[in-house]
Structure 1
Amino acid sequence: MQPSRVAMLAFTGSTQTGRSVAKLAAERLVPAIIEAGGKNAIVVLDDMTDYQGIAIDAVAEAYANSGQLCVARSKILVPSDRIDQFSDALVAAAADFLPGDPLEPNTKFGPLASKAHSDRIRSAVDMALGRGEQVIRDGRPCSTTC
């Protein structure tokens, strides 16, 4: 086997393809960074007290590209005794992120890629509600005149 001319491999995508890429990289002894499947968490630690700053960053990361990035932050882990404070900051930060026409300069994020994607998100919300989770900010789709 010839040595690889690839010094490093970075892959972002599906879990199935990530396994294939990792196998090929291992066979060739090429260092690899594999981001497969997403669901990246933000972890708020006990000594973190700038809830407003963290919330603004969290919302911006979650809504980047309408949340359709595999590295979009989709979970926030917060110490249980700080949930109320952080939730208030998160709701305030999210208030500025309204969906709209992506061609409008004030739009923070545009539509989802497809109805199927929207349906998957709705299903995830419905599952959370079925587990007794609470809706803090309603995320129902807006009309075409957002």
Structure 2
Amino acid sequence: MRPSLPLRLASALKPTSSSSLSRPGPMAILPPIPLYRRLLRAHRKHLPREMRLLGDEYIKAEFRAHRDVENPAHLIGFLTEWQLYAQKIEGESWVGEKLDEGKIAKMSDEQLEQLYELMKAIQKGEAGEDGSS
């Protein structure tokens, strides 16, 4: 039986050497389920209905897709990015913000395709709003 996601994450966050004690500690990462709930709550509270529906579906799909990830580095990266996203949504600092070019450069072809599909879905939603008035 494979260890659960929170147990794998906790073991990945343990320092591996004494030299890591001299460096500043990592950002406290929320476990997957509380983070998932926080994201949905932030969408409900801070996003318009159409954006919330699209965002909620995206979050659900991403968390489902990463349910069985084994690599601790991928888990930490996944949870860290979603936690940063939650902080931005809650602070509303995301409005009008552009994607970081460094992050885009590091994306795989699959991630870029997914980002393009998300952009098309957003544009389709905006066009639907304009056409219905």
- Shorter-chain TM-score above 0.5: no
Higher strand share: 1
Structure with the larger RCO, 1 or 2 (CA within 8 Å, 6+ apart) = 2
Taking structure 2 as the reference length, what is the TM-score of the superposition? 0.31
Q: Could you say which structure has the higher helix fraction?
A: 2
Radius of gyration: which is bigger?
A: 1
